Amino acid sequence: MNTWLSVVMLAPALAGCASTPVVERSGDERFKLVSESMDKLAVGGRISNVKWSEDGSSMSYSRSGKRYRVDLADGASIHIAPSAEGEREGNQTRPQRRSRPARGRQRDREESPDGKWVAVCKDYNVVLEPKEAPGAFSLFSSLFDYSNAVTSGGDRKFRYGTASWVYGEELDQQEAMWWSPDSGTLVFYEFDERRVPDHYLTAGLTELHTSVLTEGYPKAGEPNPIANLLTYDLETKQTIRVDGAEDDEWYTYGVRFGPQRDDVSPELLFFRTNRHQNVLHLVAADVETGQTRIVLTETQDTWQDNSPEMKFLDDGRRFIWATEKTGWKQYELWDLDEGLIGTLTRGEYPVGEIETVDEKAGVLFYSAYSDAHPLNLQLHRVGLDGRGQMRLTQEPFNHSSIEVSPDFKWFVAQYETIDTPPTSALYDTNGNRIATLAESDASRFGELGLEKPELFSFKADDGQTDLYGVLFKPSNFGADKKYPLLIDVYGGPTSQAVRNRFVGAYAECEYGFLIARIDNRGTGNRGKAFESAVYLRLGDVDLKDQVDGVRHLLERPYVDKARVGIYGHSYGGFMAALALLKYPEVFHAAAAGGTVSDWRNYDTIYTERYMRTPQENAKGYDAGSCKTYAKQLKGDLLLLHGMVDDNVHSNNAWQLIELLQEEGKRFEMVFFPNAGHGLGARSGAARWRFLREHLLN
């Protein structure tokens, strides 16, 4: 949901605003002015469309709608000059990506690499259709059916060539059919949902008659679907089952063919993880026999990353693999046949991502959170033998938008902080800064009289862990005044809301709010121990960190202790509602959208990854349930929900509403009859009306 779009609708049309001094305008006028200026608060410091010439003599880039060229010919004399409008240099065209299916779904058509066939999931079965009708009489092709049925007998509960919503949503499984590189073999899912309970949504609530939407949706602790892989040989028309896991509770996903190799045919690769998701196998399968072997295994005491970063080298055998076995995400080099070759990166900080690999020189370029400040990404290099690890960017800023030249002699990077607008620079790959390519013009920020956002820190209740947040203030801020404090929360496991990147302003502050975002324990890019602090305790440790962040800010004289609010959506809705119920002495208002009121209501894959099952962790589920604390409601609560939400079902809201009514509690609710999990602009209008009414008087 686009926050800015949602709330702009609250601002009335304003006539003659230009004659009113910036700082003297009303909150509505100020909000409209700032929200319309968000993309102009710092311009010119970001570059895009970086191109490197084929001979390595120059590079060009776009900045503020113009193209610029940098002469790299002698490696020392750098000349920056505007180049021809629309100029395109080099051959770095990126492959066109296939469109994503609807959220939680899989594509129902997959074209073979040779362009001759299309695998189609039709009526829960797999059918092969020719891309073009054969023969010269294509005029009459509509009279003939050239399709080949690969499967038969599929139905909604036992189907082929498709998976389920929970596989799409939680395992990002967007495909359910895969072609071999030579187009000779088709692999597809056999998906058994017969033991999975169905969930029903009522659609058409604004129509004359309603309809029922049915989805197999396994909720925490309930039976899961059984996913198997089948292979179909186009020449022999034989179907073979790929060896399954010994336990049908294991998830099978991340399916793809390995790279083309000179020595053997590409193997089918996929992930398997157990129901607790603390053991992960990378599995290779022979599509001719269906036999499988485990290439590697990762194990964690809490949960294992379901889809670690993996990059193959040109030989199709060796690959770079991200592991957290040391407690920090680091890279290893593996061989599909021989196993682990060696560790590439080391450090008590997590790597970010692979930027590129210079295979000729045997060098990996990667980002890592290696700065003295744990939110700052830096660029590194290391040999594929694990030697020569070197940090290339030295400034104490966050670095992003990294582009390494094809000859591996240069790179460009953008650096910034929360309160420092971005600058883009050119470096050589020894880490020497060569030239500044673009600096931000932040004059509009000053013209609007905006306050710079503040990155703050405080200690968690263990007395050791540093937690970070960012505080936004209104433009007419005065330390001698009192302001209501709002927490904009998500806080879910492995998410990250606080990054050391320039974000300019928060337009809603212009109504008169202080607004803060806080990253609690459990959020990402701080190491495995930091993430795992919430294991089996969602709504406990993570919420306590948000509360401690509020208490830290309440020590400031300009923060009004009597006017503290919180809002969020989805996991953030859960955190917002639970905060008001569990800590009524701290929070006075909460706007909660798409709220998970009890984790027993949510799906197996997400919930059990962090909480295990309700049968195993009943106390943890109770401690993190909004329903447990319904009787403690004292402040003002707004619940927002979509009636056709197929992600967080509306019964989450109804269960909490019933308990609040039984307790005689007063609250507000806004339901959207045709909305799913994303509520759209009208929910933003309702949220800000509520928060302004209850916190701004």
Q: Hey, which residues are catalytic here?
A: 570, 645, 677
Single-letter amino acid code for the residue at 645: D
Tokens standing for 579? 């905060």
Alpha helix ranges (H) inside 571-616: 571-582, 604-611
Alpha-carbon separation of residue 498 from 307, 528, 653 (angstroms):
23, 18, 29
Phi (first) and psi of residue 463, to 5 degrees: 75, 0
Alpha-carbon separation of residue 267 from 227, 237, 261, 289 (angstroms):
19, 19, 10, 11
Alpha-carbon separation of residue 568 from 235, 488, 673 (angstroms):
54, 6, 20
Q: Coil, strand, or helix at residue 301?
A: coil
Instruction: Measure the CA–CA gap between 190 and 192, rounded to whole angstroms.
Output: 7
Instruction: Measure the CA–CA gap between 172 and 256, rounded to whole angstroms.
Output: 13
The phi-psi region of residue 288 (left if phi > 0; otherwise alpha if psi is between -120 and 50; otherwise beta) is alpha
Contact 583, 561 (CB under 8 A): no
Residue with the two structure tokens 């992003």: 400
Instruction: Measure the CA–CA gap between 155 and 192, rounded to whole angstroms.
Output: 10
Instruction: Measure the CA–CA gap between 158 and 225, rounded to whole angstroms.
Output: 9
Asked whether the CA dihedral 570, 576, 581, 582 is positive or negative, the reply is positive
Q: With CA atoms as reference, report the closest residue to 402 among 421, 376, 426.
A: 426
Q: At what angle do helices 541-554 and 571-582 cross, to 10 degrees?
A: 70
Tokens standing for 361? 């020189």
Q: What is the CA radius of gyration of the chain?
A: 28
